[in-house]
Amino acid sequence: MGDLYFGDGEVGLYQKLWQRKMLIGYVPEALMYHYIPPQRMTVKYFCRRMANEGAADMYTHYHPGIPDRLRLFMHAAAIAAKNSKCWLGALLLRGRTDRRSMDVQMHAARTQAQVRYLIRLMVDNELRRLVLRKDWLNEVHT
């Protein structure tokens, strides 16, 4: 959805394979090389990545079924209450690159994205429909 991930990616695939009793393997000899461009080594990129993870968390949580809007609001309020100190800390530490500052900023980005996703889930019927979609390959796209 725009700049944010929508689904649960590889983890969702693994869970679906596991639920269908299909084999999931690990090949220790396999090698994979990644080129990581400099723009992916910034605080901004890591925070955006964590925001995407936060959105994926909420998708995975509510994909089986979306409760009423009051329960969604309560979930968003609980996340906000639990993380408000972290959010303030992230503002104060914005742009810093030491380990503690990065951890705070990334956690804040993840949990803020969770709240934004829940708010969208409360008001956006199209998002609700997409989150509940079970079969992306075989369902007719409308």
Q: How far apart are CA 76 and CA 118, in angstroms?
A: 6
56-92 pLDDT tens trace: 999 999 999 999 999 999 999 999 999 999 999 999 9
Mean of the per-residue pLDDT values for the chain? 89
Rounded to an integer, what distance in angstroms lies between the CA atom of residue 84 and that of residue 63? 26
Which run of H or of E encompasses 122?
helix 99-123
Q: State the pLDDT at residue 134.
A: 83
Asked whether residue 2 carries a pLDDT value surpassing 60, the answer given is no
CA distance readout (Å), 18 to 12, 22, 65, 104: 10, 6, 20, 33
pLDDT of residue 17: 84
State the pLDDT at residue 25.
80
Give the global pTM. Answer: 0.81
User: Could you say which DSSP state residue 124 is in?
Assistant: -
pLDDT at 102 (0 to 100): 97
Of 50, 72, 69, 51, give the one whose Cα is nearest residue 61. Answer: 72
Contacts of 8 (CB under 8 A, 6+ apart): 15, 56, 59, 60, 63
pLDDT for residue 11: 72
pLDDT in tens, 4-38: 556 677 777 777 888 888 887 888 999 988 888 99
pLDDT of 12 reads 75
